[in-house]
Each structure stands twice: as structure tokens, then as C-alpha cells.
């Protein structure tokens, strides 16, 4: 199974506190045929020098630097353009993978003969303390379900390039991952997750996702720009989104 190359897309920006741990979590994978493509979005701290230290010892890690701060969407798309893998996987510069993540996902893809999967994930706080929280998803995720709620954690998704091609990533600063998954589900209709936690999501106090109001604005923009709905239609759909967050999604958040 190790013959398939996996390209791991990582945008970085002022990530000196976390990037080393993130890289090591990939190096600890039992599946070793991968390339890590990091695109730095004009970090002003020591992120780049930390990454360069890893590059000196591991030829699978590649670093590219943007000329100006452009956001995670553009950084991810630049990384995607450099990717040579049979599969594309995503990871942020502050999140972590458990050692069996790639091995189990690739085995799941091949056994089920499917071109896309994702998995559940646990949560830690900014300092790395466990939060006893696991985020799960429907076992047969439909396009309609994904339309009202992004059940796929960015750090968990992996897709086959031969089947989808390289899926362009939006230049928006948030929710680009949701648009990728929507593009995938629109084509394959349903997706199955590996039904176990294989990744660890870091909840940061100052992250974009920490602001619920900002998230709603970004979600509204997805309905307007990605789906092309008018203002009134998008507003009504947002009501459905909010109801999903309040009534349905909590069923998939477990204490561990």
C-alpha cells in the first residue's frame, strides 16, 4: 500500500509555537510515502527557520514562501499547485495527526473503493491540554447534510487526485475547506468517514474559527459566492444552518 504518494498541504503563518509538533506528528506516521508542502504566508516570527531545520534532515518536506500576506486560501492553493501525490491531504500548522492516520485512511479508501474519506478528531486547547471532546460525523454523509453543516474537519480530509483532479481552493480567508468538500460531495453524493479519531484539533483563543460571529459571516459568504444564491435565499438557508448547529450537530460531539 505504500506505493501511493500522499501530498500534505500545510499553510503556515506565525506558527513558531506549534509547527514543530505538527511536523513531528506527520513524521511519526506509520505510512511513510508522503510529501509535506508548507507554504508560509509571510510569518514574522521564527516559523520559517524552524521549518528549515526539519528540511535539512527530511527531504520529504518542502517550503515555499509567499511574497505578501495573502491568507490561508491562497497559501493552500499554491501548495496544491506544487503537489505531486496520488492523494491530497490537509493539515494546519497547529493541528496534529495520530500515527495511524494516513495508514488507516488509505486502507479504508482502498477496501471500500472510494475516492474520498475523512475521520473523527479529538480536541486540545492552545497549550496542548486534552479537552475530553471528540467531534464525529454522520456515517453516511450526504451532500444535503454537508450543505447545512461542515462535518469534515480540515485536518481529516483526503481525496484521490486521479478521480477528482486537483480541486482548486478558494482565495477567501476562511471556509475554503468546506467548499472543497462540497465540490467532492456534489460529485459522489455520499461520503464515509473512518469511524474513529485519527487527528487532534487545537482550539486557539485568537483563531478565526474562535469567533462565532465571524464564522457566520464566512458561512453566509459561502452560500452567496460559492453556491450563487441571492441575499434573501442565503438568509433563509442560514436559518437552516443555525438550526443544524443547535439541534443536530451536538449529537456528534462526544465526551471522551
Give residue 85's domain range. Answer: 6-205
Mean pLDDT by groups of 10 residues along the chain of 256 residues: 91 97 98 98 97 97 96 95 98 98 98 98 96 96 96 97 96 86 97 98 72 76 88 89 90 94
Within a domain: residue 212? no
Total domains present in the chain: 1
Within a domain: residue 248? no
Look at residue 134 in the predicted model and tell me its pLDDT.
Answer: 97
Within a domain: residue 214? no
21: left (phi over 0), alpha (psi -120 to 50) or beta: alpha
Within a domain: residue 217? no
Phi, psi (deg, nearest 5) at residue 118: -150, -165
Q: Is 139 helix (H, G, I), strand (E, B) or coil?
A: coil
* The model's pTM: 0.93
Look at residue 208 in the predicted model and tell me its pLDDT.
Answer: 45
Within a domain: residue 218? no
- Which CATH number do you get for residue 146? 3.90.550.10
Pairing of strands 141-142, 87-90: unpaired
Please count the CA atoms within 13 angstroms of the CA of 191 that sit on its side-chain side: 28
Within a domain: residue 242? no
Amino acid at each position: 500500500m505504500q506505493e501511493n504518494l500522499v501530498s500534505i498541504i500545510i499553510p503556515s503563518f506565525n506558527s513558531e509555537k506549534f509547527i514543530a509538533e505538527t511536523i513531528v506528528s506527520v513524521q511519526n506516521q506509520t505510512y511513510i510515502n508522503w510529501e509535506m508542502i508548507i507554504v508560509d504566508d509571510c510569518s514574522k516570527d521564527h516559523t520559517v527557520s524552524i521549518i528549515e531545520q526539519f528540511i535539512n534532515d527530511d527531504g520529504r518536506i518542502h517550503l515555499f514562501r509567499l511574497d505578501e500576506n495573502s491568507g490561508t486560501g491562497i497559501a493552500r492553493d499554491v501548495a496544491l499547485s506544487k503537489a505531486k501525490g496520488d492523494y491530497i491531504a490537509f493539515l494546519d500548522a497547529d493541528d496534529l495527526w495520530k500515527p495511524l492516520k494516513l495508514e488507516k485512511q488509505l486502507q479504508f479508501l482502498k477496501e471500500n473503493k472510494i475516492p474520498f474519506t475523512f475521520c473523527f478528531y479529538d480536541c486540545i486547547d492552545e497549550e496542548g491540554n486534552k479537552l475530553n471532546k471528540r467531534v464525529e460525523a454522520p456515517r453516511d454523509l450526504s451532500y444535503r447534510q454537508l450543505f447545512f453543516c461542515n462535518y469534515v474537519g480540515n485536518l481529516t480530509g483526503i481525496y484521490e487526485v486521479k478521480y477528482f483532479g486537483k480541486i482548486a481552493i478558494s482565495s477567501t480567508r476562511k471556509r475554503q475547506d468546506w467548499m472543497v468538500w462540497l465540490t467532492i460531495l456534489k460529485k459522489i453524493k455520499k461520503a464515509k468517514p473512518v469511524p474513529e479519531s485519527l487527528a487532534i484539533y487545537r482550539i486557539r483563543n485568537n483563531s478565526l474559527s474562535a469567533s462565532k460571529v465571524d464564522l457566520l459571516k464566512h458561512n453566509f459568504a459561502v452560500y452567496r459566492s460559492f453556491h450563487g444564491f441571492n441575499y434573501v435565499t442565503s438568509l433563509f438557508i442560514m436559518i437552516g444552518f443555525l438550526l443544524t448547529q443547535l439541534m443536530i450537530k451536538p449529537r456528534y460531539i462526544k465526551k471522551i
